[in-house]
Amino acid sequence: MNLLLISNSTNAGEEYLKYPIAEIGRFLAGVKEIVFIPYAAVTFSYLEYERKVQARFDEIGIRVRSVHRSPDPRKMIRHAEAICVGGGNTFALAKKMQEQRLMGAILSRIKAGIPYVGWSAGSNVACPTICTTNDMPIVEPQSFAAIGAVKFQINPHYLDANPAGHAGETREQRIAEYIEANSRRYVVGLREGCMLYCHDGRIDLIGSRPMRIFKKGIEPFEVKAGDDLSFLK
């Protein structure tokens, strides 16, 4: 499998996809065209989303073709040179992907070795389920099941902070609830500006910030770029 799973599209104060585009370019070296899944977009159109991603991918010389343009999105996936899934609302994304039976089609192509890039919701759907998303369930998908390209769960945009005066759960407390109910599953808290590169049987953390690891029965701990992540496989 050949995956680049990115926490967030945009760092504070930067342009859209600016910080990860060089890494995406290295990851997609030799790719001329990528099939894009825009279904996490809610407050703007799929066409706008395609244009927004294309504007950045122009910098790395890759054409972006969105599945919303096709009467047969699964056929596009079957013939894709590479696949990209954008961020937004994970529930809206999963619902549309399930309706079009794209989850299994994408997993088959990933297993065949074609590159997959996802950020935020696009990273969530690479996991076994979408249960560790931060998003509000604005629509109801058929199930929480996702692509299952990796065996662990990702919590993108992971935050340690608990704002002053806030009495609700922290991100860590919510993940603790998940691992209590799903004792066999690791959850990785992927902080902004970071990504996971899964390739050749390896998992590598890319970025200057550590990643927080959660599993039932284990005290949460931090890993940094260069650490051995083989326990996640």
* pLDDT one-digit tens code per residue, 191-216: 999 999 999 889 999 999 999 999 99
* 122 in Cβ contact with 85 (< 8 Å): yes
Q: Tokens 């990796």 belong to which residue? A: 150
In single-letter form, the type of residue at position 209 comes to R
How far is Cα 9 from Cα 157, in angstroms, rounded to an integer? 10
The CATH H-level (homologous superfamily) assignment of domain 2-151+191-208 is Class I glutamine amidotransferase (GATase) domain (3.40.50.880)
Domain boundaries, the chain: 2-151+191-208
Name residue 195's beta-bridge partners. 6, 206
Determine the longest span between alpha carbons in the chain, in angstroms. 52
Tens digits of residue pLDDT in 151-185: 999 999 999 877 777 767 889 999 999 999 999 99
Catalytic residues: 120, 135, 157
User: pLDDT (tens digit, 9 = 90+) per residue, 183-194?
Assistant: 999 999 999 999
Amino acid 162: pLDDT? 74
- State pTM to two decimals: 0.96
Residues facing 223 on adjacent strands: 211
